[in-house]
Structure 1
Amino acid sequence: MDGDNARGVLLGLACGDALGRPVEFAAASEISAEYGRLDEMVGHGTWNQPAGTITDDTEQALCIARSLVEHQGFDPADVAERFVAWYESDPFDIGRMTMRTLSRLKHGDTWDEAGQHVWEQSREGQNAGNGSVMRCPPLAIPYATDWEHLVEVSRQSSQITHADPRCTYGCAILNLTVAGLLEGTSTPLRDALDYVDASAPDELVAALRPLAQGDTPGSLETSGYVVHSLQTALHDGLGCDSLEEAIVTAVNRGGDTDTIGAIAGAVAGARFGASSLPDRWLRTIGEADELETLAEQLVEVA
């Protein structure tokens, strides 16, 4: 595995998150009217934070990465504890389902109970958000060559807060795709879908299979629904000609810009490597050095 590509996963995720943060929830037309094409880290906007500020996407990915390094493997109970500590720090951006689950964890649910309880109490339309897929790519680095284990830990990492099979298998498919890219396969999404096809929800596979075959869906949605987010982010992450273009394209679509940008950035980061990220972006992200170090340590965990 190339260390530059592993670093690209974490730094690409953070850059997509930070570029999208100030325009989260804005429509593409609103972004265009204010910025033309947004390709610089800007301050204020949604959440009113300085340029280069990361959100819950990268903050939770950091929880997973730090735990993997410290424990030399995936420990879901430890990751859940780190999520709760982060939740108690009063983050400015946190998803509704994540917040409900972490509150249950804080009050005594185990890591594999809380997300299940919240999911069972959530109606369709509010039960399969993108809050677990946005943070899961660090797992793809140490488990890149052990796909059985990668599927297991990816689904468990989702189960902590997002127990819907579209979310748990969404994490598995995303991480298998990233792992394939890290290992240099030519058809990473197709290989990922083939690996989980018999088990994964039909709706998820049906949305992603055309991308794996090189087709563009009729429309790409930018909502927080996990199927939409994965379809759009994988389209840009796998299809654009550079890492910067993938992130900029994803963010300028509007909608859930930080998360779709983060997923596209992780995927394209695995393709192109951290060295192809613009220095002007990395200089604004305070966590860049730690993310780079963690990525190198995750390669060693493997």
Structure 2
Amino acid sequence: MPSETNTARFSTEPAFSRAYKGHPNHNLLPGQYTDDGQLILISSRILAEGSWDNTNYAKELLRTYTLQKFRYPDGTTFAACKKMEKSGDLTGSGIYSDSTGCIGLAVPFALAFKDRKEMAKELLTACMVTHTHPGVHAAVIGFALLLNTLLETHDVEAGFTALQTAAENMDPLLAGKIANAVRIEKTGMPTADAVSIIGNTASVYQTLPLAVFFCRRYYIPRELLGISSTCGGNADTVSLLCGAFCGARFGISALPEDLIPQLERVGIFADLAEKLMNRETKSPDEESGE
């Protein structure tokens, strides 16, 4: 988060710190999560209770918005909540924007679903609450498939293939951007130059390809998290994706053990992650008692 909106100042040593004075999140203490973490917690709690409920999700977003509790929310999420408040339409107020504001949803959905088709279907409806852009849908579903594949098979290339295939089927432009990031990585281009070409803005067409570039280049979790969290621009979301990739690929034991205890509400995240991994959904007939 402190590197967000800044220019890149790369470091291979990840660390929690405060943002500069005047940054929208300068009041957050080191280790506190941003709006991405808020959306992950809200969606994880709903998923942990059973079947996905789009209306409850929208209600929680609107409640957080009206109480002014969002931590520098993605502009699209903010606009969708404002539209919900004005129109009263909870699930039909999504905005046509390619921002990455809902990409964090990929994490809890990847943990919660064993059936990938069901996951993609429910995840699409969740994205639509705030984002209606097809590129966003491709990015979120594709990344969730990558994580889900890694968790199930531990096959990194299979995970990247799942992401690329989803992008090709849903948004060829995104697929091309991801493929280009992979090609750039293979050339051995210096990281700083690659970031300037791929881009580090809040668009899914830059954030996700850049995360893929980092995940393919850096094999040591500490280095990957350090580089991704100091890449400037949309660094908070880029590092979220890279952190999720590390967790799915290596497990929590490979993550920097000095950082985990410093994370805000770490016990809540851990408890929800376990519940999602062991989640059992009921069929509609079972829920109705038939």
- Tell me if TM exceeds 0.5: yes
Which of residues 255, 264, 275 in structure 2 aligns to 1:286?
264
Shift of 1:284: 1.8
Contact 1:77 1:110 (8 Å CA) reproduced: no
CA distance in 1 between partners of 2:279 and 2:163 (Å): 22
C-alpha RMSD of matched pairs (Å): 2.2
Which of residues 77, 87, 94 in structure 1 aligns to 2:73?
94
Whether 1:251 and 2:226 are equivalent positions in the alignment is no
Q: Greater relative contact order (Cα 8 A, min sep 6): structure 1 or 2?
A: 1
Whether 1:24 and 2:4 are equivalent positions in the alignment is yes
Inter-CA distance 240–81: structure 2 relative to 1 (3 Å threshold): same
Q: How many residues align?
A: 265
Shift of 1:73: 2.5
The 5 Å alignment of 1:287-302 reads 287-302=265-280
Shift of 1:152: 1.2
CA displacement, residues 188-216 of structure 1 (integer Å, 9 cap, x when unaligned): 12133325633x11101111235668746
Shift of 1:297: 0.2
Whether 1:141 and 2:117 are equivalent positions in the alignment is no
Partner of 2:150: 181
Shift of 1:236: 1.8
Partner of 2:287: none
CA distance in 1 between partners of 2:216 and 2:51 (Å): 28
Contact 2:181 2:198 (8 Å CA) reproduced: no
CA distance in 1 between partners of 2:245 and 2:12 (Å): 21
Which of residues 224, 227, 231 in structure 1 aligns to 2:205?
227
Whether 1:208 and 2:186 are equivalent positions in the alignment is no
Inter-CA distance 239–141: structure 2 relative to 1 (3 Å threshold): farther
CA displacement, residues 149-206 of structure 1 (integer Å, 9 cap, x when unaligned): 12112222211111100001111101000101111234212133325633x1110111
Q: Secondary structure at the match of 1:170?
A: helix
Kindly provide the amino acid, as one letter, of the partner of residue 59 in structure 2.
Answer: E
Unaligned runs of 5+ in 1: 1-20, 120-126
State the TM-score, normalized to the length of structure 2.
0.84
Whether 1:190 and 2:161 are equivalent positions in the alignment is yes
State the TM-score, normalized to the length of structure 1.
0.81
The 5 Å alignment of 1:153-192 reads 153-183=122-152, 184-187=154-157, 188-192=159-163
Whether 1:274 and 2:244 are equivalent positions in the alignment is no
Unaligned runs of 5+ in 2: 281-290
Larger Rg belongs to: 2
Which of residues 56, 76, 81 in structure 1 aligns to 2:59?
81
Kindly provide the amino acid, as one letter, of the partner of residue 282 in structure 1.
Answer: I
Shift of 1:227: 1.3
